[in-house]
Amino acid sequence: MRSHRHAILFIALSAAAVALLVCDLLTGTTPIPISQIWASLAGSGASDEYAVIVRELRLPKAVMAITAGIALSVSGLQMQTLFRNPLAGPYVLGISSGASLGVALFTLGMPLLGITAGSAASAIGITGMAWTGSAAILLLVMALSRRIKNINVILIVGMMLGSAISAVVGILQYVGTEESLKAFVVWTMGSLTNVTHADLLFAVPIVAAGTALGVAVIKPLNMLMLGENYARSMGLGVRRARTMIFLSTTLLAATVTAFCGPIGFIGLAMPHLARMTFRTADHRILMPASMLWGVVAMLLCCVVCDIASRIGVMLPVNTITSLLGIPIIIAVVMRNRNSAS
């Protein structure tokens, strides 16, 4: 009965993902007929102009959206289970703050290095520094967590570190030039538009590795739902599991943040959507379900952005993900409170 329901949901979500992928490839500032899209992807019979748009712009963007949807959802699910907190998400350990510190430092230094905003060098610099900043924060949190037994203390430390770094970033913005400030703000709004094949060559394998690690901790996550004490009493090496989960989350969230900027609420909301629709606590189901929901949500956001851009409104992807994710979070929290009382 239950597995029947799961199968139907998996099929429906996959179908929705494929449909949205087609929509995403179809939409954009230049109208392209579906036959030309197919021809461009197949590599024959398409006009050069269309082929370039589809292959160099739309396809990389769609692949990055799928990658981001998977990465954020998997890391959000891991954080919610590890911290046993429905409001935990990929950024709870300060990953996005670390990334923003890296980007703030870079954009501030850009004029000194003679790099202009929007150039290839600035794109590489922003990505590299975002990743470096995230990784630095994670190393700090992991080093501190070795000395902390209580998982909630780690959560608080991560959030406080994040807030402290945000304050430093604020100072940096204050002293920065107008140009560097603009470059920074543009990054914080998140974007999928300037994705290149080279970006994908870097991002996809790292996210694949992070996802593989995520799959490897499915059993530990199921055990951790009962709390760390019970998990340990049932044979889980809790420290090792924690390290693997942190590592997976950083690979996933930091990479996406580096390339697309901080994308809010997908990682927070999609695991909840997976729980609500699949009605299970088993991570063997929840993990792929969250991934699929993440893919659907990100592609949907992209389509919305594309349609908006066609009528001349350039929406940052972050605003759309927030508008989509926040109602879901509110619904979940209210439902939980109601059933608990």
Partner 1 sequence: MIELRDIRLSFGQRTLIDSASATLRCGTITALLGRNGTGKSTLLRAMASLGDVQRGEIRVDGRPLRKMNAAETARRIAFVDTSRIHAENMSARELVAIGRSPYTDWLGRTGAEDMRIVDEAMTTAGVAGLADRMVDTLSDGECQRVMIARALAQTTPVILLDEPTAFLDMPNRYELCTLLQRLAHRQGKCIVFSTHDLDIALSLCDEIALIDSPRLHHMPTRQIVGSGYIERLFSSPYVRFDAATQSITLTETAAEG
In the complex, which residues of this chain contact partner 1 (CB under 8 A)? 84, 216, 218-219, 222-223, 225-227, 229-230, 232-238, 275, 278-282, 284, 336, 339-340
* Minimum CB distance to partner 1, residue 156 (Å): 19
Q: Which is nearer to partner 1, 193 or 280 (CB)?
A: 280
Cβ atoms of 58 and 217 within 8 Å: the answer is: no
Q: Which is nearer to partner 1, 197 or 219 (CB)?
A: 219
What tokens appear for 242 in the block? 């924690």
Query: If you search the block for the tokens 């969230």, which residue do you land on?
Result: 253
* Minimum CB distance to partner 1, residue 243 (Å): 14
Tell me which residue of 68, 328, 14, 329 sits closest to 191, measured CA to CA. 68
What tokens appear for 176 in the block? 């920065």
Largest Cα span, the chain: 64
Alpha helices in 43-119 (DSSP H): 48-52, 59-82, 95-113
d(CA 133, CA 155): 19
Q: Which is nearer to partner 1, 314 or 333 (CB)?
A: 333
* Minimum CB distance to partner 1, residue 329 (Å): 14
Q: Which is nearer to partner 1, 18 or 226 (CB)?
A: 226
Q: Which is nearer to partner 1, 44 or 341 (CB)?
A: 341
Per-residue DSSP letter, 254: H
* Minimum CB distance to partner 1, residue 229 (Å): 6
Q: Which is nearer to partner 1, 34 or 276 (CB)?
A: 276
* Minimum CB distance to partner 1, residue 235 (Å): 3
Q: What are phi and psi of 147, to 5 degrees?
A: -95, 0
* Minimum CB distance to partner 1, residue 111 (Å): 50
Cβ atoms of 254 and 130 within 8 Å: the answer is: yes
Angle subtended by helix axes 197-216 and 283-310, to nearest 10: 160
Q: Which is nearer to partner 1, 92 or 289 (CB)?
A: 289
d(CA 25, CA 2): 35
Q: Which is nearer to partner 1, 118 or 227 (CB)?
A: 227
Beta carbons within 8 Å of 2's beta carbon, 6+ residues apart: 279, 280
What tokens appear for 105 in the block? 């430092």
Sign of the four-CA dihedral 282, 284, 285, 289: positive
* Minimum CB distance to partner 1, residue 75 (Å): 19
d(CA 229, CA 236): 9
Dihedral angle computed from the Cα positions of residues 269, 274, 279 and 282, in that order, rounded to the nearest 10 degrees = -110
Tell me which residue of 341, 215, 329 sits closest to 276, measured CA to CA. 329
Q: Which is nearer to partner 1, 140 or 218 (CB)?
A: 218
d(CA 253, CA 263): 9
* Minimum CB distance to partner 1, residue 278 (Å): 8
* Minimum CB distance to partner 1, residue 269 (Å): 15
